[in-house]
């Protein structure tokens, strides 16, 4: 646990008692704060009281007397579509609102660091797609290189549940737009922006607000090194804002598809090869084509981001390459579940939007595509250019019939359920083909989250080998 600094003898309220809320309450108490908590759920409040927490109804103005700050969980709206009533009351009363990410960054450095040979560092990753894979890959590289490292944030351990840093350690954090949007302190040593595509727009008041939430990671604290994906205009804008000239190597531009030679420092992948350029000269290259844990151009972009971040903290190219080959990938993200009778079965349940599904569809050939669920605004018509490798689609869930009207001449059948889709794909798939779960939709019509959807697919596929 990382005790929160600067809160001794203050009364601080915590809103939301999920994993991060409970960890925040414990870290505040460890730092000497008097902690009161509130959650909208009656059962959650009762459990908190049974666990010895002080539950205080923060919807009543009289209970705000003496409250120094309100710490809210990331999932609770603080601005759009409208602030949660407790947060709105904090604004009216002038009580500062923060989240666990802000508390982490103001509490991470301690006096113990005075005796360290090498100060600990933080690498923070944000973006729309590829955050989790990039974060896990960076952590894996550090581990394989023998560097002490911890993994947390939106993946793995909550930030305040991490252990205090040791000498030379690197903490690798995945940060969502929900987390970066509100944090009052954001001071990573290395900040990574993977890419941007429309997502969570209701929460951020539109695409501008969504990008602004991501941009705060770079604008608030000024990282020593910024790794920026420049395959979208927002990334090119951000890189331009952060650099003093094209030769400014504090900004490392990355790309999957573009050749970036004119900048002070760049890392890009083209035709399956990763290249690192410094001051117009190539200094390293890695063949990504046979790395099974990183299939497709979208994973090559993740590889570029992780490579650049690792180079920023002194990891050598050959050490990074070795780590790439031992990386197994993350569940539900282009994860090969099995190969049965020459057919590859791939779980990309995390592909919950059109952009992520497009990346998955371009990573494989001869695809039998399982798609559908709770479709998002705009449908999947934008996937039309990426369906050339689809032999047949098996459509499931709430939006199956809507999707059928949006995939042009691509052969399909309405399978309704995951079980039926797997049965039909198994019966029809030929050697050399890939059965790909890339839903292009949320899971909430049939599953509580994309993980449960992916786990169900995996279990069904594994049962085929029994």
Q: Which residues are annotated as a binding site for ATP?
A: 127-133
- The Cα–Cα gap between 369 and 390 comes to 7
- The Cα–Cα gap between 423 and 464 comes to 9
Answer left, alpha or beta for residue 153, where phi above 0 means left and psi between -120 and 50 means alpha.
left
Positive or negative torsion for Cα 125, 131, 135, 138? negative
Closest CA to 67 of 89, 45, 47: 89
Q: Which H or E element spans position 111?
A: none
- The Cα–Cα gap between 274 and 289 comes to 10
Residue 94 CB contacts under 8 Å (≥ 6 apart), including other chains: none
CA distances from 154 to 126, 133, 353, 376 (A): 10, 12, 18, 22
Q: Is 351 helix (H, G, I), strand (E, B) or coil?
A: coil
- The Cα–Cα gap between 363 and 128 comes to 18
Residue 316 CB contacts under 8 Å (≥ 6 apart), including other chains: 145
- The Cα–Cα gap between 166 and 176 comes to 26
- The Cα–Cα gap between 57 and 40 comes to 9
- The Cα–Cα gap between 286 and 4 comes to 42
- Dihedral Cα 154, 158, 163, 168, nearest 10 deg: 20
User: 82 φ, ψ to 5°?
Assistant: -160, 150
Is the CB of residue 301 less than 8 Å from the CB of residue 312? no
Could you tell me which residues are beta bridge partners of residue 434?
344, 367
Binding-site residues, please? 127-133
- Read off the DSSP letter of residue 376: P
Contacts 24+ apart (CB under 8 A), 261-269: 265/308, 267/304, 267/305, 267/307, 267/308, 267/311, 268/304, 269/297, 269/300, 269/301, 269/303, 269/304
């Amino acid at each position: 646990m990382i005790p929160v600094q600067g809160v001794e003898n203050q009364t601080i309220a915590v809103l939301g008692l999920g994993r991060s809320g409970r960890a925040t309450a414990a870290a505040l108490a460890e730092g000497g704060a008097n902690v009161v908590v509130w959650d909208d759920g009656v059962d959650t409040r009762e459990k908190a009281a049974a666990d010895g927490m002080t539950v205080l109804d923060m919807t009543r103005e009289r209970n705000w007397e003496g409250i120094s700050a309100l710490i809210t969980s990331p999932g609770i709206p603080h601005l759009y579509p409208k602030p949660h009533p407790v947060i709105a009351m904090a604004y009216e009363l002038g009580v500062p609102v923060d989240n666990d990410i802000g508390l982490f960054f103001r509490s991470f450095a301690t006096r113990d660091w005075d005796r360290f040979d090498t100060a600990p560092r933080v690498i923070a990753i944000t973006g729309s797609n590829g955050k989790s894979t990039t974060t896990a890959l960076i952590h894996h590289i550090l581990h394989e290189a023998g560097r002490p490292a911890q993994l947390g944030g939106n993946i793995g351990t909550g930030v305040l549940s991490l252990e205090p840093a040791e000498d030379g350690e690197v903490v690798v954090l995945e940060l969502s737009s929900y987390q970066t949007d509100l944090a009052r302190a954001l001071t990573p040593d290395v900040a990574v922006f993977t890419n941007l595509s429309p997502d969570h727009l209701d929460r951020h008041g539109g695409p501008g607000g969504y990008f602004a939430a991501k941009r705060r990671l770079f604008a608030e604290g000024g990282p020593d090194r910024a790794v920026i994906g420049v395959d979208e205009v927002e990334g090119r804008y951000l890189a331009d804002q952060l650099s003093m000239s094209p030769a400014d190597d504090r900004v490392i531009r990355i790309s999957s598809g573009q050749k970036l030679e004119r900048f002070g420092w760049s890392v890009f992948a083209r035709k399956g090869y990763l290249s690192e350029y410094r001051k117009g000269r190539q200094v390293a290259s890695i063949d990504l084509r046979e790395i099974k844990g990183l299939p497709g151009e979208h994973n090559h972009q993740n590889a570029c981001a992780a490579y650049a971040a690792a180079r920023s903290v002194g990891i050598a190219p050959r050490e990074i390459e070795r780590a790439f080959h031992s990386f197994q990938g993350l569940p539900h993200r282009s994860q090969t579940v099995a190969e049965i009778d020459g057919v590859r079965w791939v779980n990309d349940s995390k592909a919950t939007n059109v952009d992520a599904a497009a990346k998955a569809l371009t990573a494989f050939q001869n695809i039998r595509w399982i798609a559908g669920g709770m479709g998002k605004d705009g449908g999947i018509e934008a996937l039309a250019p990426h369906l050339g490798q689809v032999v047949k689609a098996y459509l499931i869930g709430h939006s199956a019939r809507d999707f059928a009207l949006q995939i042009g001449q691509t052969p399909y059948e309405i399978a309704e359920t995951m079980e039926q889709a797997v049965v039909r794909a198994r019966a029809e798939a030929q050697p050399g083909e890939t059965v790909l779960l890339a839903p292009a939709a949320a899971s909430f019509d049939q599953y509580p989250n994309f993980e449960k959807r992916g786990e169900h697919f995996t279990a069904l596929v594994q049962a085929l080998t029994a």
